[in-house]
Structure 1
């Protein structure tokens, strides 16, 4: 009888979906390809995002292969480009991703992923919302909250001491973005750069994280996240998780 009872339990257990599957709220695709300046962060970022996925009950598919964009993107609530710009995609994959966004898909763009050569893929530049110009040397500065109602600000202080490459950007396509975090240029030297290069200040309007609607989807962009230690930092991960949560669900932002 014990054997029969045990066997019945096994049958029932295998017939039911796992607890993790039952609780999963959405699925996130993360594209993270090593490149010259960004590769050491990868195992740390992957471990941290896997822990966030378990903590917040969502599925994460991590890949360093662009082949993932050949498959069914509609299964993903959001696609994250983690230090990997869209220029990595083939023309056919770009078309598929554009279709995904036009069907209501969503995107998260992190740090290096916001940099793409001018004219390489104008649609992606508009998705990011700003075009990269240059960045001064990595420095410690003060990041300030521009929109306290947005989830990506909930885990960071109003004035946040942070060390990063504070990208200088421009807006050639006149895309309207909604700043989430700014950086105070008086807190670091925006002209400190390598010999032979020039970096000019942006002034008071210097966003380093923002959101905006694009096509029929949502886009969250953070320019923060240059080095490996950042992906161990609880405040940075809270910032990143807030952006993921909003992009994937559309929830959390106070109206």
Structure 2
């Protein structure tokens, strides 16, 4: 009986491992930790990202443990901070991530992951490219495409009805970013916020998704993605997949010419 079990285990391993290895174009690490306001998204996002991984032939490591940053990050084509800011990393883990980026690693920052304590980790704030302050309540607004040549906008209409927390940002480190999506502040109330807080709009220049380069690597940031149901939405997932694709490959952009 023991021999039969061993034989079945070997057979199962040989049937799955080579196929997964042959089909995988790259590895993506996703850090998704539950927070006070963001936790219900975790299983939904995991399911959707696993489906995207199967569809687009990449390998996914989805974890809520920061200990993964103590291992070999070089195996990953990109690291995604999914509603989980870099402040969750220990000093040693932060140093490992900085080394990864300086060695040509790439990063994706999604929604809540863009919010981190001011000046607590300047490297991460510069990686995000903007500092997020207070933000208005979740509202329905009109998202506009700024750069239709960038993969994260493919499949999106030029004006897209979307409901989210439209973050208000500043640029204390004077980082140059390339906006791909903006939000039309006339389509919602940028001052609608919780009692005791004040929120002001940014005017016509209000980017909500962008890309830039850090060290030798590529960084894509989308501040969209507040609630769990968004991770079932085909247009949002197309936006996210476009950001993943560009971040890990550097390809997909078309020319304005």
- What TM-score bracket applies, with the shorter chain setting the length? over 0.9
- The answer for the alignment partner of 1:112 in structure 2 is 112
TM-fit CA distance, 1:155 = 2.1
TM-fit CA distance, 1:195 = 1.3
TM-fit CA distance, 1:15 = 9.1
Do the aligned partners of residues 14 and 173 (structure 1) sit closer, same or farther apart at CA in structure 2, a change above 3 Å counting?
Answer: same
Do the aligned partners of residues 185 and 19 (structure 1) sit closer, same or farther apart at CA in structure 2, a change above 3 Å counting?
Answer: same
1:152-163 alignment, distance < 5 Å? 152-163=152-163
TM-fit CA distance, 1:18 = 2.2
- The answer for the alignment partner of 2:145 in structure 1 is 145
1:24-35 alignment, distance < 5 Å? 24-35=24-35
Do the aligned partners of residues 103 and 141 (structure 1) sit closer, same or farther apart at CA in structure 2, a change above 3 Å counting?
Answer: same
In structure 2, C-alpha distance between the alignment counterparts of 1:187 and 1:21, rounded to whole Å: 47
Say how many residue pairs are matched.
246
Secondary structure of the residue aligned to 2:219 is strand
1:230-249 alignment, distance < 5 Å? 230-249=230-249
In structure 2, C-alpha distance between the alignment counterparts of 1:27 and 1:214, rounded to whole Å: 20
In structure 1, C-alpha distance between the alignment counterparts of 2:14 and 2:184, rounded to whole Å: 55
TM-score, scaled to structure 2: 0.93
TM-fit CA distance, 1:88 = 0.4
In structure 2, C-alpha distance between the alignment counterparts of 1:249 and 1:214, rounded to whole Å: 15
In structure 1, C-alpha distance between the alignment counterparts of 2:198 and 2:104, rounded to whole Å: 40
1:203-250 Cα shifts (integer Å, max 9, x gaps) = 010000000000110000000000011001000000000001110111
In structure 2, C-alpha distance between the alignment counterparts of 1:145 and 1:87, rounded to whole Å: 30
TM-fit CA distance, 1:98 = 0.3
- The answer for the alignment partner of 1:3 in structure 2 is none
Q: Structure 1: which 4+ aligned runs deviate by more than 3 Å?
A: 13-17
Unaligned runs of 5+ in 2: 1-6
In structure 1, C-alpha distance between the alignment counterparts of 2:110 and 2:229, rounded to whole Å: 15
In structure 2, C-alpha distance between the alignment counterparts of 1:184 and 1:28, rounded to whole Å: 32
TM-fit CA distance, 1:196 = 1.1
TM-fit CA distance, 1:19 = 2.1
TM-score, scaled to structure 1: 0.94
1:76-96 Cα shifts (integer Å, max 9, x gaps) = 000000000000000011001
In structure 1, C-alpha distance between the alignment counterparts of 2:109 and 2:64, rounded to whole Å: 15
- The answer for the alignment partner of 1:61 in structure 2 is 61
Secondary structure of the residue aligned to 1:42 is helix
